[in-house]
Structure 1
Amino acid sequence: MELNCGLKCLKYLLFAFNLIICIVGIAALVVGIVSMVEDSNLFSLLKLSLDQSTLVQSSSVIIIVTGVILFLIGFIGCCGAYKESECMLGIYAAVVLIIIIIEIAGIAVAAAFQSEVTAELKNGLKKHIAEDYDGTGARDTFTFFVDATQVQFDCCGVDSYMEFMNATQWNRGNNTIPLSCCILENKDDYNENPSQAKAKYSNCQTAPDATNSNIGKTCYNSIKDFAMKNARNIIIVGVVVLIVEVICFIIAVCLCNRLRKDGGTNA
């Protein structure tokens, strides 16, 4: 079967889109595998504990799974377009449609239940601080990322620095806040050398105030402000991805219909 000029252009456009998706999938797969294979070197470089390395391994698995899914979707799209296969294009269109529906549903649910999700997230984080935060990150992954977040965003606590007074696993002594809430001399080196962190003011942990620490900034609001500042870029990327998905779906459906009418290949 010979496609007309317009459908040929759509065919090659669909092929190009999915070739890019394949490449992205392969790249993600390689990154995930390399990070998992080289985990001992990576963990040594980042000076992560055993628990923290487990989280990094989990992240590697997620990256690998994402890469495989992207590659499979792109591969089906490429083969379907190249071979003009009604069956493969139909499968591809169905998968893309499901992804579009899930994305739109996710956005709608997030918008409708934003306050509930926010409340649950805050309560969950506060509960973890009370039950798991140990002040050093040596035994608990959660502690490490709480500290890293506080250093990165110059904040202290989810809603208040007083939340750390409820941390049952933290042997605080006379300290009111953890070191990560203090203004540090070597903030930029924290992620690589958390054990070498040093407060700029020696009385920060025992007598924190707005000049020697970040107790005046809560982490939830700091992260929210950061997200709002970058919301435009996030929205643009999301809209572009959604538009590309819709275009791919429409092209696949158009090609399927033409192939069906002309008795195209089902291979």
Structure 2
Amino acid sequence: MELNCGLKCLKYLLLAFNLIICIVGIAALVVGIVSMVGDSNLFSLLKLSLDQSTLVQSSSVIIIVTGVILFLIGFIGCCGAYKESVCMLGIYAAVVIIIIIIEIAGIAVAAAFQSKVTSELKSGLKKHIMEDYDGTGAMDTFTFFVDQTQVQFDCCGVDSYTEFVNATKWNRGNATIPLSCCILTNKDDYPENPSKATAKNQTCQQSPDSTNSNINKSCYNSIKDFAMNNARNIIIVGVVVLIVEVICFIIAVCLCNRLRKDGDA
């Protein structure tokens, strides 16, 4: 079936878009598989401790699944456009519109329940600190997450450093705050060597103040400020992705309708 010049341009545009999606999917798949098998260079790049295997494997699975989904969507779109297949283009258009609806619904739900989600997230983290934080980030994934966050954002506690007073699994001795709340001499090395962290002031954990620790800076506000500072870039990327998805859907529908009409003629 011969397409006119305009539809040919749309066909190759759809082909190009989905070829990029395929490449991104393959790249994500490779990164996920490499991180799953424990490539030391990738761990170093991501600044993750090799002891955090559970955390890394969970992230790897998510990356692999995302890569597979992206590759399949791109592959169907490429084949449908190249072969001018009504069936494959129809499947592709259906999948893309479902993804668009899920994304829009997710944004709406997130906006509607933002305050509730925030409140429950904060209370959940505080509860986990009380029940699960053990002060040895090299051994426990949750503890490592808390410590790494505090070191990276120069903060202490979700809302307050006093939350660690009730940490039932932490054998604190005379310490008031974890070492990760102190100002460290080797902050940049912490992700790879948390057990070798050293406070600039050796009395920091027992007698913390605003000069030797980060007790006056909550992690929630620090992360919130970080997210707000990067929100513009996130929104731009999200809008661009959504626009590309809508364009792909429209092109697929247009090609489907034309091919179907030519088939019936």
* TM-score between the two structures when normalised by the length of structure 2: 0.95
1:102 aligns with 2:91: no
User: What's the counterpart of residue 29 of structure 1?
Assistant: 29
2:122 pairs with 1:122: yes
Structure 1 position 127, deviation (Å): 0.7
Question: How far has the Cα of 1:47 moved from its partner?
Answer: 4.0
2:154–2:214 contact (8 Å) kept in structure 1: yes
Deviation at 1:115, TM superposition (A): 0.5
1:213 aligns to 2:213 (yes or no)? yes
1:139 Cα deviation (Å)?
3.3
Give the SS at the match of 2:199. coil
Distance in 1 (alpha carbons) for counterparts of 2:90 and 2:48? 46
Question: Residue 148 of structure 2 aligns to which amino acid in structure 1?
Answer: A
Which residue of structure 2 lines up, in the alignment, with residue 228 of structure 1? 228
Query: What is the CA distance between 1:53 and its match in structure 2?
Result: 0.5
Amino-acid identity (%): 88
- In 2, distance between residues paired with 1:47 and 1:74? 34
- Matched residue SS, 1:230: helix
Residues 92-151 of structure 1 show CA distances to partners (whole Å, capped at 9, x for unaligned) of 000000000000000000000011000110011011100100011243200001000000
Amino acid at match of 1:106: G
8 A Cα contact 1:26 1:71, kept in partner = yes
Residues 184 and 199 of structure 2 are in contact (CA less than 8 Å); yes or no, is this contact kept in structure 1? yes
Answer whether contact 1:26 1:68 (CA < 8 A) is retained: yes
| Residue 19 of structure 1 pairs with residue 19 of structure 2 | yes
Paired AA for residue 208 in structure 2:
P
Match of 1:7 in 2: 7
The DSSP-based 3-state class of the residue aligned with 1:174 is coil
Give 2:168's aligned residue.
168
Partner Cα distance (2:95, 2:18) in 1: 13
1:240 aligns with: 240
Q: Give the Cα–Cα distance (whole angstroms) in 2 for the partners of residues 196 and 9 of structure 1.
A: 59
Does 2:196 correspond to 1:196? yes
The amino acid of 1:63's aligned partner reads I
Matched pairs, number: 262
Moved over 6 A (4+): 40-45
User: Does the 8 Å CA contact 1:14/1:248 hold for their aligned counterparts?
Assistant: yes
Are 2:66 and 1:66 aligned?
yes
The answer (yes or no) to whether the contact 2:80–2:89 under 8 Å persists in 1 is yes
- Tell me if structure 1 keeps the 8 A contact 2:138–2:194: no
Q: Calculate the TM-score normalised by the size of structure 1.
A: 0.95
Unaligned runs of 5+ in 1: none
Query: How far is the alpha carbon of 1:193 from its aligned partner?
Result: 1.2
Q: For residue 48 of structure 1, what is the amino acid of its counterpart?
A: L
Q: CA RMSD in A?
A: 1.5
User: Which 5+ residue runs of structure 2 have no aligned equivalent?
Assistant: none
Q: 1:114 to 1:46 in 2, by over 3 A?
A: closer
Q: What CA distance in whole angstroms lies between the structure 1 residues aligned with 2:50 and 2:178?
A: 19
What residue identity is the alignment partner of 2:102?
Answer: I
Q: Name 2:152's counterpart in structure 1.
A: 152
